[in-house]
């Protein structure tokens, strides 16, 4: 799914409950990390659930493997990957992810702790992109 398809899918649903189920469904297709990668070093701080992030810079583009122990968070990860996977560090840092979250009405429907966790994942990805651009 690309960003335009993601926007179309969210626009299709009228209520938040349908969008919420859609987000959970997105997470079901997300590959799981091997337990060997679920280490403290890969843990994203600031998330209510456990979230692990692996980053690789290949050919000037960022590749991410992200996993969580919570279904809704896995769906949020799928949205983040739709935006950031295979992008250059500069593209990642320039993209208005908060604007997308507002457009999709994600933050206003998530609990404050989930919203903070989502922002923590994005902050960590931005850190990795900054490191990749250096």
Report all structural domains of the chain as residue ranges with CATH numbers, in order of start.
3-133 (3.90.1010.10)
Quote the pLDDT of residue 35.
Answer: 95
- Res 83: pLDDT: 96
Say if residues 77 and 51 touch (Cβ distance below 8 Å).
yes
pLDDT values of the chain reduced to their tens digit, one per residue, 134 residues: 899 999 999 999 989 999 999 999 999 989 999 999 999 999 999 888 999 999 999 999 999 999 999 999 999 999 999 999 999 999 999 999 999 999 998 888 888 888 888 999 999 999 999 988 76
Q: Provide the CA 97 distance to its chain's centre, in angstroms.
A: 10
Catalytic residue ranges: 47
Helix (H) or strand (E) holding 130: helix 112-133
**Per-residue confidence (pLDDT) for residue 133, from 0 to 100:** 77
Give the pLDDT score at 108: 87
Give the pLDDT confidence score for residue 112 in this predicted structure. Answer: 86
Distance of alpha carbon 68 from alpha carbon 49, whole angstroms: 7
């Amino acid at each position: 799914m690309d960003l335009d398809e993601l926007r179309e899918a969210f626009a299709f649903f009228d209520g938040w409950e349908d969008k919420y189920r859609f987000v959970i469904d997105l997470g079901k297709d997300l590959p799981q990390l091997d337990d060997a990668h679920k280490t403290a070093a890969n843990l994203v701080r600031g998330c209510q659930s456990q979230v692990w992030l692996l980053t690789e810079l290949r050919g000037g583009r960022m590749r991410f493997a992200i996993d969580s122990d919570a279904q809704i968070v896995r769906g949020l990860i799928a949205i983040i990957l739709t935006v950031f996977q295979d992008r250059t560090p500069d593209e990642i840092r320039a993209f208005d992810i908060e604007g997308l979250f507002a457009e999709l009405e994600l933050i206003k429907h998530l609990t404050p702790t989930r919203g903070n966790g989502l922002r923590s994942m994005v902050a960590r990805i931005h850190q990795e992109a900054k490191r990749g651009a250096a």
